[in-house]
Structure 1
Amino acid sequence: MEHKHLDQLRTVADVQPRSLTRQERLERWIGLLERDPTRRLNSLGEIEYKPPEERALIREDNSPLTVAFEDPVLRADGLGSDRLGDAMNFFELSDGQAHYALCSCLSGRHMEASSFAQRLRNTMTDANWRLGAWALAGLALSLPGVIYLFH
Structure 2
Amino acid sequence: MFQDVQLVIFNLAKEEYGLPIGKVQEINRVAAVTKLPHTPEFMEGIINLRGRVIPVLDLRKRFGLDAREHDDSTRIMVTDVSGQTVGLIVDAVHEVVTIKGSGIEPSPPTFILEAQYIEGIGKMEGRLVILLNIDRIMSSQETIQLKQSVQAG
Q: Which bracket does the TM-score occupy, shorter chain normalised?
A: under 0.3
- TM (norm. structure 1) is 0.23
Structure possessing the higher radius of gyration over alpha carbons:
1
- TM (norm. structure 2) is 0.23
Structure number with higher strand proportion: 2
Structure number with higher helix proportion: 1
